[in-house]
Structure 1
Amino acid sequence: MTAPYVKSTTQEAVTTIEFFHPAHNSLPGNVLSDLANAIKKAGNDDGCKVIILKSGGDRTFCAGASFKELIAIDDEKTGEVFFSGFANVINAMRKCPKFIIGRVQGKTVGGGVGVASATDYCFATKFAAIKLSELNIGIGPFVVGPAVERKLGLSGMSQIAINANEFYPAEWAHQNGLFAEIFESTEAMDEHVSAFAKALTQYNPEAMKEMKKMFWTGCENWDELLAERAKISGRLVLSEFTKETLKRFK
């Protein structure tokens, strides 16, 4: 099995950041940390004008939180630190002065929906169904909720958060604003993502930077908001309900 990784490559002013985990691209703490750092680094790189965010493999985009790490949490502080990993990635994406293009090749769950939602323009295949499954294990999409709500609206976010056992098809995510375009195949999507990113490199970086600030207006309190949400998740993951549910997954 391939070891987890986060890797960045820059070509013709386009930085591609790819994350991978053999467990369906789930996100343990070290991958979350590396991902946040890669986004910050690309944002500060003068040789980068636009970022493509993708995951490895050809099936699942992201399975969300690492169940192995969730099961191991045994105190509130550890839980808060774990969920803060998602907060750090979302805030890094929010603060990054470059447009981040999402490339979603398959199903995405929980925290993965939050990551996709925090991109500035997101492409997906018809296989990219989404699910906010947190309520199933006794917590909720507290940390990723603001990012998902920003894209889907409160109605769309609450719908998939409450109906936590159902995948919503890519077309639904497209109609509700998460995905800008959906494609029949990964190959067709990649061709379009590449052309789209290349076109963006021809635009004024200062204009794109100011546009990004404009698009994220109203989210300036997210450092504090997501930190508070991480505390809620860190507390709930220790509940008897969640512990028993995670045992069944184990």
Structure 2
Amino acid sequence: MSYENILLKKEDKLSIITINRPESLNALNAKTIQEISTALDELKADNSCRVIILTGSGEKSFVAGADIKEFSEFGQEKAEELARNGQNTLFNKIENMSKPVIAAVNGFALGGGLELAMACHIRYASENARLGLPEVTLGLIPGYGGTQRLPKLVGKGIANEMIFSAKMIPAQKAKEIGLVNEVYPIEELLTKTKELANTIAHNSPMAISKAINAVNLSDTEKGFETEIKYFGELFEMEDKKEGVSAFLEKRKPNF
């Protein structure tokens, strides 16, 4: 399928979605959100794809935020619809994807851009990355999950500080507080992200899918029981048989 606002590239067991609106610093509009969602559906159905990388075009910006021009005249009903549709169409879909989604945050990740990165399972950032939630400067709050995901990643106190102050933080600070996993020079970011993706891609896709679901329930009452259930279910699946056989035979598993 052809896309207007994103690029989709498949490389062996991994795929790269690049948000490609450099003229607007890759700002998210409705069409871009829908195209990313459609690409994710395509990759979910592609058995050759094991891991997905999400990044922005150029070196200045991952996603500089939502396209404010699209919703500047909205009232309450349309604004709630915008937030709900965005979360259901894309942000929640990323978080619940059965395949890992890694954000390669190259430059600005502000507002909806940071919310997009936080919905991913893992985040790597470039040294020039700047991350923040500036919505209160517009008289708004984050609407794509920012108030819910940020406290889980960095704690309520730091999340409150970031949201209330609207300050941007540099990449190294983001690593210190656990908002991103690693920081690399911009020229190494995609290479390092691909290295991680390829490592993941050689592990059991079924086990990883179960792990994603279990981790997503880690702050709920269902978390421990879900882990136990999935642990047992995997004993009946071919990936477990291959993995254990490979270990006992002192060879690499072929999942």
Give TM-score, length-normalised by structure 1.
Answer: 0.80
SS, match of residue 143 in structure 1: coil
8 Å Cα contact 2:5/2:31 also seen in 1: no
Residue of structure 2 in register with 1:69 after alignment:
70
Residue of structure 2 in register with 1:30 after alignment:
31
8 Å Cα contact 1:7/1:19 also seen in 2: yes
Deviation at 1:153, TM superposition (A): 2.2
Change (3 A) 1:105 1:172: same
8 Å Cα contact 1:83/1:143 also seen in 2: yes
8 Å Cα contact 2:132/2:168 also seen in 1: yes
1:114-156 Cα deviation digits (max 9, x unpaired): 1111111111011111111000101112432212222222222
Aligned residues with identical type, % of pairs: 21
Residue of structure 1 in register with 2:234 after alignment:
none
Residue of structure 1 in register with 2:127 after alignment:
126
In the alignment, the residues of structure 1 paired with residue 153 and residue 205 of structure 2 have an alpha-carbon distance, to the nearest angstrom, of 24
Q: Which runs of 5+ in 2 are unaligned?
A: 221-255
SS, match of residue 24 in structure 2: coil
Letter in 1 for 2:24: A
8 Å Cα contact 1:32/1:85 also seen in 2: no
- Whether 2:176 is the aligned partner of 1:160: answer no
SS, match of residue 62 in structure 2: coil
CA RMSD of aligned residues (A): 1.9
Residue of structure 1 in register with 2:244 after alignment:
none
In the alignment, the residues of structure 1 paired with residue 85 and residue 132 of structure 2 have an alpha-carbon distance, to the nearest angstrom, of 20
Residue of structure 1 in register with 2:8 after alignment:
8
1:176-225 Cα deviation digits (max 9, x unpaired): 11110001x222112211211111111111111111112111589xxxxx
Letter in 2 for 1:35: I
In the alignment, the residues of structure 1 paired with residue 129 and residue 59 of structure 2 have an alpha-carbon distance, to the nearest angstrom, of 11
Deviates more, 1:146-155 or 1:105-114: 146-155
Bigger Rg, which one: 2
Letter in 1 for 2:82: F
Change (3 A) 1:156 1:43: farther
In the alignment, the residues of structure 1 paired with residue 188 and residue 35 of structure 2 have an alpha-carbon distance, to the nearest angstrom, of 29
Change (3 A) 1:4 1:136: farther
Change (3 A) 1:129 1:56: same
Change (3 A) 1:43 1:150: farther
8 Å Cα contact 2:150/2:159 also seen in 1: yes
Deviates more, 1:38-47 or 1:107-116: 38-47
Q: Which runs of 5+ in 1 are unaligned?
A: 221-250
SS, match of residue 104 in structure 2: strand
- Whether 2:118 is the aligned partner of 1:117: answer yes
Letter in 2 for 1:157: A
Change (3 A) 1:43 1:154: farther
Residue of structure 2 in register with 1:231 after alignment:
none
Letter in 2 for 1:26: A
1:37-93 Cα deviation digits (max 9, x unpaired): 2223222321110111111121011111101112242x3332223223431311111
Change (3 A) 1:211 1:176: same
Deviates more, 1:42-51 or 1:82-91: 82-91
In the alignment, the residues of structure 1 paired with residue 110 and residue 125 of structure 2 have an alpha-carbon distance, to the nearest angstrom, of 14
8 Å Cα contact 2:127/2:186 also seen in 1: no
In the alignment, the residues of structure 1 paired with residue 65 and residue 33 of structure 2 have an alpha-carbon distance, to the nearest angstrom, of 10
In the alignment, the residues of structure 2 paired with residue 81 and residue 218 of structure 1 have an alpha-carbon distance, to the nearest angstrom, of 28
- Whether 2:55 is the aligned partner of 1:54: answer yes
Deviates more, 1:96-105 or 1:138-147: 138-147
Letter in 1 for 2:133: L
Residue of structure 2 in register with 1:234 after alignment:
none
In the alignment, the residues of structure 2 paired with residue 83 and residue 31 of structure 1 have an alpha-carbon distance, to the nearest angstrom, of 15
